[in-house]
C-alpha cells in the first residue's frame, strides 16, 4: 500500500521553509522532499546493508534466512557484507573531511613558501602555539618559516612512515592512547587508514566482520584527530581564531534591494576570499551603479558556518534550506566548493536568474559555470565572481522575489580558545561547575538534515530538553541554523535552562547552546573533552559527556559519530546506518563497543526519549566520578 504523502507541516519546523515549499509547488519546482517521495519505499536490502556490488561476480543480495541466498557468490554472509559496506561508508566520510584538511595544508605550505599573496597568517600566536605543541621549535623563526615546517609535518600525517602516529595524538589522554594501542586502532596516517580500508574490503582480503569494524574505528580516528583537526587549526591560523559575536539566521537575511551572494559547501579557502572581494568598495560602488543598495553575502551549511564563526556573516540556512534559498528569487549567485551540494541546485537555479558557480577541480556540476580557485589566483577569481553576481542582479525579476519573515539574532564564535578565555584561561571553572552540578555534563549536537525526518524537529527539541537538565550543549554544522532559528544561541535562552546552567550562563553572558563551528570543527569538541580529561587525570570515556547527530545523512557524519565513540563518547543517532542486516555489526554498534572502547551508539528518532537516554548516561558517568 502506498505511503500517504506528508503535509507541509510534517516536512519542516520553520515558517520560512514552509513558505518556500509552497512557492516551489506553485512554480512547479521539484524539491528534495518531492524526490524522496519518488524514491520510497526504499529497497530493504539496501537499507539494511545486505547488497554487494563490489565485484562483477555479483551484484548480490543477501538473505540470511534463505538456504540459497544466505551468501554472496564469493561466500560472504550477512555480517561480512554489512561490515564491508559500512567500512567503505566510513572511509568515504573520513576521506572527505580529511581532503578538506589537505587543501588547507597546501595553502599553509604555499604561505610558507611565499607562493601566494592572497592568503596570509592571521593568527601568528596560534601558529606558534600549535607548532610548539607538535614539537617544532619556533625560536628565531618568522611566521613563514614556521608555516612551512608545520605544513611539512601535517603532510606527513597524511601518509605513512616512521612516526606511525598523528601529530595531534599528543592531545589524547594517555589512558585513551593506551587503549587504542591495546585494541589495535591507534590511527597512524590519514591516507594510510583510508587506503587500507579500501584494501581490506576488497573481495578476498579481510573476511572478519569485527576486524573490519575495528579498522573502521581506526579510519574514523584518523579523521577526527587527524584531517579534521588539522583543518580546524590551520583555518584558525590562516583566517583567524573565532571570537564571540552577534549575527543573524534564516531566509530573512536575504535582502531584496541588495546583490545577494550565497556561499555553500565546506571550504573557507573559497568563501573567505569571496567575502574580501564583496567588501571591496570598488565592487560595492559597482553594485550601486547597477541599481542595488549594496552587496550581501550569506552562508549555507558549513562554508556558512566558517564565515559565521570568524566574520559574523549571516546564515541563510542548513542542508534542507539550500534549494529553498534559490526559490526566494532573491539569490543572484550561489558560489559552491564541495560536499553536501545537491546537484538539484543547478536545475533550480536555471528556473531563476541565479548564477550557479563551482570553484573546485574536485567538484564539477553539470550545467554550472566553473571558475576554478587556487591559492595563486583566489582574489582574482573572487573579483570575477562578484562581477558576475552584480550582472545577475540586473537580470532579477523582482516580481518573483519572496523573502519570508525577518532574521533571528544569534551569538557565535565559540572556539576552544574563546571558551577557555571566558573561563579565565583554564578549564578549572567548568570542572568546578561540573563537580558542583551546576553543569551536569555536556553534549555536542552536530550534523546534517535528513528529509526522512521533520526538518530540525529533533535538533531543536533535543537541545531544549538537555539544557532543561543543566546539560550544556555545543553545536556545529547544520544543527547551528536549527538551534539559531529556535533562539537557543542567544544569552536570553538561559531562561530555558535548568537553574544551575542558567546561573552559569548568566554569569558569563553566554547562551546555553554554544556554536563551535562547522562539521570539521567537531574536532574542537573532542579536543575540549581531551583538555577536561587531561585536567582531571581520567579518560574521555569517564567524562559526563555525549554526542548526537539527530538528523544525519552523510558518510562524513558516520565517520564523525564513529570517531566520537572510538574516543570514548556515547553517541546518539536519529536514524540507523545501513547495518541492521547484520546482528553482529548492529550489536557491536549498540552495545558491544562499550566493552572495547568505553562507549557505543544509540539510535532514537524521538528527541524526548533520546534526551532521557543521554541524561541517564551522563548521570552514570557522574556517579562513576563520585559526583551526585
- Mark the binding-site residues for [Ni-4Fe-4S] cluster, compressed into ranges: 266, 302, 340, 448, 478, 519
Q: Which residues are annotated as a binding site?
A: 43, 52, 55, 60, 74, 266, 302, 340, 448, 478, 519
Grid coordinates standing for 314? 549571516
The three-state secondary structure class of 356 is strand
Pairing between strand 295-300 and 259-265? parallel
Residues 271, 282: contact at Cβ < 8 Å?
Answer: no
- According to the 3-state scheme, what is the secondary structure of 411-447? EECCCHHHHHHHCCCCCHHHHHHHHHCCCCEEEEECC
Cell 618568522 belongs to: 142
Q: Which residues are annotated as a binding site for [4Fe-4S] cluster?
A: 43, 52, 55, 60, 74
DSSP single-letter state for residue 383: H
Residues 443, 472: contact at Cβ < 8 Å?
Answer: yes
Query: What are the two backbone dihedrals, phi and then psi, of residue 156, each rounded to the nearest 5 degrees?
Result: -65, -30
Task: List, in sequence order, the alpha helices (H) in 478-606.
Answer: 478-485, 499-508, 522-536, 555-566, 583-587, 593-597
Residues 275, 312: contact at Cβ < 8 Å?
Answer: no
Distance in angstroms (rounded) separating the CA atoms of residues 224 and 208 = 25
Cell 566493552 belongs to: 595
109-119: b (≥16 Cβ within 10 Å) or e: bbbbeeebebb
Q: Which DSSP string do the residues of 376-397 spell out, in sequence order?
A: TTHHHHHHHHHHHHHHHHTT--
Distance in angstroms (rounded) separating the CA atoms of residues 497 and 470 = 6
Distance in angstroms (rounded) separating the CA atoms of residues 331 and 515 = 26
Residues 366, 388: contact at Cβ < 8 Å?
Answer: no
Q: Give the containing element (helix H, strand E) for 233.
A: helix 228-239
Q: At what angle do helices 499-508 and 428-436 cross, to 10 degrees?
A: 160
The three-state secondary structure class of 573 is strand
Amino acid at each position: 500500500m502506498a505511503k500517504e504523502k506528508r503535509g507541509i507541516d510534517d516536512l519542516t519546523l520553520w515558517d520560512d521553509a514552509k513558505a518556500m515549499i509552497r512557492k516551489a509547488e506553485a512554480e512547479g519546482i521539484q524539491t528534495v522532499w518531492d524526490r524522496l517521495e519518488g524514491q520510497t519505499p526504499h529497497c530493504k536490502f539496501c537499507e539494511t546493508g545486505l547488497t554487494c556490488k563490489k565485484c562483477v561476480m555479483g551484484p548480490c543480495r543477501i538473505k540470511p534466512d534463505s538456504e540459497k541466498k544466505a551468501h554472496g557468490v564469493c561466500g560472504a554472509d550477512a555480517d561480512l557484507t554489512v561490515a564491508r559496506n559500512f567500512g567503505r561508508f566510513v572511509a568515504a566520510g573520513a576521506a572527505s573531511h580529511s581532503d578538506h584538511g589537505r587543501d588547507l595544508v597546501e595553502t599553509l605550505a604555499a604561505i610558507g613558501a611565499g607562493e601566494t599573496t592572497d592568503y596570509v597568517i592571521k593568527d601568528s600566536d596560534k601558529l606558534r602555539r600549535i607548532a610548539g605543541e607538535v614539537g617544532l621549535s619556533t625560536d628565531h623563526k618568522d611566521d613563514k618559516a614556521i608555516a612551512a615546517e608545520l605544513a611539512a609535518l601535517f603532510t606527513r600525517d597524511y601518509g605513512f612512515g616512521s612516526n606511525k602516529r598523528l601529530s595531534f595524538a599528543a592531545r589524547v589522554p594517555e589512558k585513551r592512547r593506551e587503549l587504542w594501542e591495546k585494541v589495535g586502532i591507534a590511527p597512524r596516517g590519514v591516507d594510510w587508514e583510508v587506503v587500507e580500508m579500501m584494501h581490506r574490503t576488497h573481495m578476498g582480503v579481510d573476511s572478519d566482520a569485527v576486524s573490519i569494524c575495528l579498522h573502521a574505528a581506526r579510519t574514523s580516528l584518523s579523521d577526527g584527530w587527524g584531517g579534521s583537526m588539522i583543518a580546524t587549526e590551520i583555518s584558525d591560523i590562516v583566517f583567524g581564531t573565532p571570537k564571540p559575536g552577534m549575527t543573524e539566521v534564516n531566509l530573512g537575511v536575504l535582502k531584496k534591494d541588495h546583490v545577494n551572494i550565497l556561499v555553500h559547501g565546506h571550504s573557507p579557502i573559497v568563501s573567505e576570499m569571496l567575502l574580501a572581494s564583496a567588501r571591496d568598495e570598488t565592487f560595492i560602488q559597482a553594485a550601486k551603479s547597477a541599481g542595488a543598495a549594496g552587496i550581501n553575502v550569506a552562508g549555507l551549511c558549513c562554508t556558512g558556518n566558517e564565515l559565521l564563526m570568524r566574520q559574523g556573516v549571516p546564515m541563510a540556512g542548513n542542508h534542507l534550506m539550500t534549494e529553498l534559498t534559490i526559490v526566494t528569487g532573491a539569490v543572484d549567485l550561489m558560489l559552491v566548493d564541495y560536499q553536501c551540494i545537491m546537484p538539484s541546485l543547478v536545475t533550480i537555479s536555471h528556473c531563476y536568474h541565479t548564477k550557479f558557480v563551482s570553484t573546485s577541480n574536485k567538484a564539477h556540476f553539470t550545467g554550472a559555470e566553473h571558475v576554478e580557485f587556487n591559492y595563486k589566483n583566489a582574489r582574482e577569481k573572487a573579483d570575477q565572481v562578484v562581477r558576475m553576481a552584480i550582472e545577475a542582479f540586473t537580470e532579477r525579476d523582482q516580481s518573483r522575489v519572496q523573502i519570508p519573515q525577518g532574521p533571528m539574532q544569534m551569538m557565535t564564535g565559540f572556539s576552544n580558545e574563546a571558551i577557555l578565555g571566558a573561563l579565565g584561561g583554564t578549564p578549572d571553572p567548568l570542572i568546578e561547575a561540573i563537580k558542583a552540578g551546576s553543569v551536569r555534563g555536556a553534549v555536542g549536537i552536530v550534523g546534517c538534515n535528513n528529509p526522512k525526518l521533520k526538518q530540525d524537529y529533533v535538533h531543536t527539541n533535543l537541545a531544549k530538553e538537555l539544557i532543561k537538565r543543566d546539560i550544556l550543549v555545543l553545536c556545529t554544522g547544520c544543527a547551528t541554523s536549527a538551534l539559531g532559528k529556535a533562539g537557543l544561541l542567544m544569552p536570553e535562552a538561559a531562561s530555558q535552562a535548568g537553574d544551575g546552567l542558567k546561573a552559569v550562563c548568566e554569569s558569563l553572558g553566554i547562551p546555553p547552546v554554544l556554536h563551535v563551528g562547522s562539521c570539521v570543527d567537531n574536532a574542537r569538541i573532542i579536543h575540549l573533552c581531551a583538555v577536561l580529561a587531561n585536567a582531571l587525570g581520567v579518560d574521555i570515556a569517564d567524562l559526563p559527556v555525549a554526542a548526537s547527530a539527530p538528523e544525519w545523512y552523510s558518510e562524513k557524519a558516520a565517520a564523525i559519530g564513529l570517531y566520537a565513540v572510538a574516543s570514548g563518547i556515547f553517541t546518539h543517532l536519529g536514524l540507523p546506518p545501513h547495518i541492521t542486516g547484520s546482528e553482529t555489526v548492529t550489536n557491536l554498534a549498540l552495545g558491544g563497543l562499550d566493552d572495547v572502547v568505553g562507549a557505543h551508539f544509540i539510535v532514537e528518532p524521538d528527541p524526548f526519549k533520546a534526551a532521557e537516554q543521554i541524561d541517564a548516561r551522563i548521570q552514570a558517568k557522574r556517579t562513576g566520578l563520585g559526583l551526585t
